[in-house]
Structure 1
């Protein structure tokens, strides 16, 4: 809860509200992290597949035949490395995409719960008046919109 006090929000906030808002920010950060990893593996997989396509193109141009009869011995280890890295990147991308979807669902469920329970979380008149400042801060600083479902 010390981190929440550093956010310079109007006080007092209930302990439950502080814990829920901190958890919401943590879940948003986890979602952003998984989105970044997903994009990285997606770009890595695309570039590896383009590299494999480039190797095929090079071999087709070099052999001047319709089908590649076999790679030159000097390119074979490089090709196998690119294929194995592509397989690893594909499975990592699938694993990270599942984690990203789960993190997004967890974040969204907590966000909706906070919206539904805002009457309970901001009980007193002073807390209810400061609710707008809390929502504005979360939207501006963390990109979390608590104004509507």
Structure 2
């Protein structure tokens, strides 16, 4: 368990384990989001390189005929490789988006469950009155908002 969660004063062990689980899911979501953003940028760069290459080598010289452009683009190996890379990177970017959305849903569902069950998790009167102290620590340390269920 992470040190700030272990040091929470007004939280019992079971709730600490639940908070640790939501922290792990938040980390998974953040990592997936970073990876997805990286692949978006990489896909855009490769797409622009492909379009520039296509324009310089094929578009300018064979603009008079679509069939001539098509014929030359199919016979040019570099063009086909760049096109395949662009398509594959776009597909991988979409797969990563689905993973990111899945991790976000898991994280958000668990966080909402904690918010909904907060009366059960902080049962004692002293814990209930001082839970905001622990919520602030979680908010500052991990950027996890446990005050309300909205994103």
Inter-partner Cα distance in structure 2 for 1:79 and 1:104:
37
Distance (Å, rounded) in 1 between the aligned partners of 2:47 and 2:63: 22
Q: Provide TM-score, normalisation by structure 1.
A: 0.84
Match of 1:54 in 2: 52
Which whole-Å CA distance do the structure 1 matches of 2:42 and 2:81 have between them?
A: 14
Superimposed CA distance per residue, residues 26-53 of structure 1 (whole angstroms, 9 cap, x where no aligned partner): 1111111111111111111111111111
What RMSD over aligned residues (CA atoms) do the two structures have, in Å?
2.0
Distance 1:17 1:24 in 2: 11
What is residue 24 of structure 1 aligned with on the other side?
22
Report the Cα distance in structure 1 between the residues aligned to 2:18 and 2:143, rounded to whole angstroms: 16
Residue aligned with 2:64, SS: coil
Deviations 1:84-104 (A, max 9, x none): 221221121111111111111
Q: Indicate the larger mover: 42-51 or 6-15.
A: 6-15
Per-residue Cα deviation, 1:30-86 (whole angstroms, up to 9, x for no partner): 11111111111111111111111101210233x264343525x8xx34323322221
Q: What's 1:125 paired with?
A: 125
- Per the alignment, in what secondary structure is the counterpart of residue 70 of structure 1? helix
Q: 1:70: which partner in 2?
A: 72
Matched-pair contact (CA < 8 Å) for 1:34–1:96: yes
Counterparts of 1:1-149 in structure 2 under 5 Å?
1=1, 3=2, 6-7=3-4, 9-11=7-9, 13-59=11-57, 60-61=59-60, 63=61, 65-67=63-65, 68=69, 70=72, 76-149=76-149
Relative to the length of structure 2, the TM-score reads 0.83
Report SS of the residue matched to 2:144.
coil
Asked if the contact 2:53/2:79 (under 8 Å) is kept, the reply is yes
